[in-house]
């Protein structure tokens, strides 16, 4: 009976180790460092060829559309700026002064080759009086 329990415990341990290894391998392959532009520039040259995610505001006037659908622009965070080359679907809200997040590799030519482009929605707060109108009985009525 003790021999059967030992086999069961060993089998469970082997399965747990296999699952742990698969989870670790999956997370390791998809893990990406999230940096600001200033942090990225501070890590040069060790960051060359490494997959990273960088956030910053799109520099006004830097957006250039290529004839093949490519996009070139610069992002900055107050501590510097980097040029970005991207080819893919461009978010609708992507424009000057929008906070953008790019994912890809920073090359030795000091151009960030992005294969992922995300644009953060600006948060807008509206006055509560603009959202509600006062009805004839003095109760708030939704303006929408």
Mean pLDDT in residue range 91-96: 85
**Lowest-pLDDT range of 9-13, 102-106, 129-133:** 129-133
Structure confidence at residue 96 (pLDDT): 86
Give me the DSSP letters along the chain.
Answer: -HHHHHHHHHHHHHHHHHHHHHHHHHHHHH--EEEEHHHHHHTTTTTTT-EEEEEEEEPTT--EE-TTSEEEEEEE-SS-EEEEEEESPPPTT--TT-EEEEEEEE-TTSEEEEEEEEEPPPP----HHHHEEE-TTS-EEE--
pTM: 0.62
| Residues shown for the chain | 144
Residue 14, both tokens: 């082997």
The architecture of the domain spanning 34-119 is: Beta Barrel (2.40)
Residue 66: pLDDT band with limits 50, 70, 90:
confident
Residue 84: pLDDT band with limits 50, 70, 90:
very high
């Amino acid at each position: 009976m003790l021999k059967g329990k030992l086999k069961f415990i060993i089998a469970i341990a082997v399965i747990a180790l296999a699952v742990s290894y698969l989870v670790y391998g999956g997370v390791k392959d998809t893990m990406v460092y999230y940096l600001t532009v200033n942090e990225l520039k501070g890590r040069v040259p060790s960051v060359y060829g490494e997959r990273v995610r960088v956030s910053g505001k799109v520099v006004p006037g830097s957006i250039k559309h290529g004839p093949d659908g490519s996009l070139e622009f610069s992002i900055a965070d107050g501590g510097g700026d980097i040029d970005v080359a991207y080819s893919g679907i461009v978010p609708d809200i992507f424009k000057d002064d929008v906070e953008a997040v790019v994912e890809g590799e920073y090359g030795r030519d000091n151009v960030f080759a992005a294969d992922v482009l995300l644009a953060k929605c600006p948060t807008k707060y509206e006055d509560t009086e603009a959202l509600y109108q006062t009805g004839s009985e003095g109760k708030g009525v939704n303006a929408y």
